[in-house]
Amino acid sequence: MEVYALVGSSGTGKSHRAVLLAYQTGAEVIIDDGLIIKGNQIVAGISAKRQPTRIGAIKTALFNEPEQMEAARKAIGELAPGRLLILGTSDRMIDKIANRLGLPGITKYINIDEIASPKEIRKARTMRSQHSKHVIPAPTVEVRKTFPESIINPLQVFMRRKGHRGNKGWLEQSVIRPTFTMYGKLTINQGALKSIVSWASTTISGVAEVKKVSIDRNENEVNIEIEILAGMKTHINNTSREVQVYVKEQVEHMTGLTVKHVNVTVAGIKVREIV
């Protein structure tokens, strides 16, 4: 196994450039802030960005917890990548991670300023220091599983795929605000969720009234039941589908929660009274 390292101080844009560098070096797996990432999937680990303190985040990024370390070792063993990329703030940090995960010596250390311009690094530092925005090199749908109730925005990365001349494509990463940058605790209650669902539903043409909203919620996912009254001359199937799609989009966008199901029941037709 060949192990590559991307080194740079916090906020210089390492995670943002990790996916592209992985393709350029042929690395099949990325290790970043406590996560083991292969392609578009987080296969193991606990995100350091979910820890409530910076000290906790550092310990997680270094795989200090035995259970986390063993899970990461097992995942890497099962994946058996030929090449792997580790992200860290120093050569020493990279070496500690490699040692804890039972990886061979580092094949090559790559500094962030070798692949990013001074202007790009300054921009990345500004986004970190002024807006507390961090990147996770995995799609939004994956990141939401470990960051419920966090506002997560997708970031599209344009790249030329390795080994395919002229074949270009987009890869998605995620921009989040880590737990340790929050002031206090963020909690979204059922009433707020129901208000979002009701508003999104009545925005759809053909929905005359929302009769009832029920929400079944666990740590990572939300199931939504909606009863509506349809207006006259409404195509019920089309309207119901539009409600499902729009409610899912708005709840996920506004809360960061993952919506698993949106079930819509048309309880009746609202007939206008003739005066």
pLDDT at 245: 95
Assess whether pLDDT exceeds 50 at residue 49.
yes
Mean pLDDT of 66-82: 93
Tokens matching residue 170: 């987009």
**Could you tell me if residue 56 is left (phi over 0), alpha (psi between -120 and 50 degrees) or otherwise beta?**
alpha
In the chain, what percentage of residues exceed pLDDT 70?
81
pLDDT-derived band at 219 (thresholds 50, 70, 90) equals low
The pair of three-digit structure tokens given for residue 226, joined into one six-digit string: 């909606």
Kindly tell me if the per-residue pLDDT of 166 is higher than 50: no
pLDDT at 37 over 80: yes
The pLDDT of residue 136: 78
Residue 189's pLDDT is what?
84
In single-letter form, the type of residue at position 257 comes to L
> Which pLDDT score, from 0 to 100, does residue 214 have?
95
Q: What angle do CA 89, 31, 180 make, to 5 degrees?
A: 60
- Give the pLDDT confidence of 176-209 residue by residue, as tens digits: 766 666 555 567 888 999 999 999 999 999 999 9
pLDDT at 162: 47
User: What pLDDT, on the 0 to 100 scale, is given for residue 55?
Assistant: 86
Tell me the C-alpha distance between 118 and 47, whole Å: 28
Whether 23 has a pLDDT exceeding 50, the answer reads: yes
Q: Is 199 helix (H, G, I), strand (E, B) or coil?
A: helix
- What is the pLDDT at residue 101? 95
DSSP 201-239: HHHSTTEEEEEEEEEEE-SSEEEEEEEEEEETT--HHHH
Per-residue model confidence (pLDDT) at position 164: 43
Please give the domain boundaries of the chain with CATH numbers for all domains. Answer: 2-181 (no CATH), 190-270 (3.30.70.1350)
Structure confidence at residue 257 (pLDDT): 79
Supply the pTM of this predicted model: 0.64
Q: What does the pLDDT read at residue 181?
A: 63
Q: Where do runs of H (alpha helix) occur along the chain?
A: 14-25, 54-61, 66-79, 91-100, 112-115, 118-131, 140-143, 190-203, 236-255
Average pLDDT, the chain: 84
pLDDT at 256: 72
Name every residue whose Cβ is closer than 8 Å to that of residue 94 and which is 6 or more positions away in sequence: 5, 7, 86, 88, 106, 109
Note whether 46 and 19 are within 8 A (CB): no
Using alpha carbons, select from 269, 259, 272, 273 the residue that is nearest to residue 207: 269
Angstrom distance (rounded) from CA 72 to CA 109: 22
What count of residues does the chain have? 275
Least confident of 95-104, 146-155, 209-218: 146-155
User: Given its phi and psi angles, is residue 263 left (phi above 0), alpha (psi -120 to 50 degrees) or beta?
Assistant: beta
Q: Is the pLDDT assigned to residue 167 strictly greater than 50?
A: no
Q: Which of 69-83, 124-138, 222-236, 246-260 has the lowest mean pLDDT?
A: 124-138
> What percentage of the chain reaches a pLDDT higher than 90?
47
- Give residue 93's pLDDT: 94
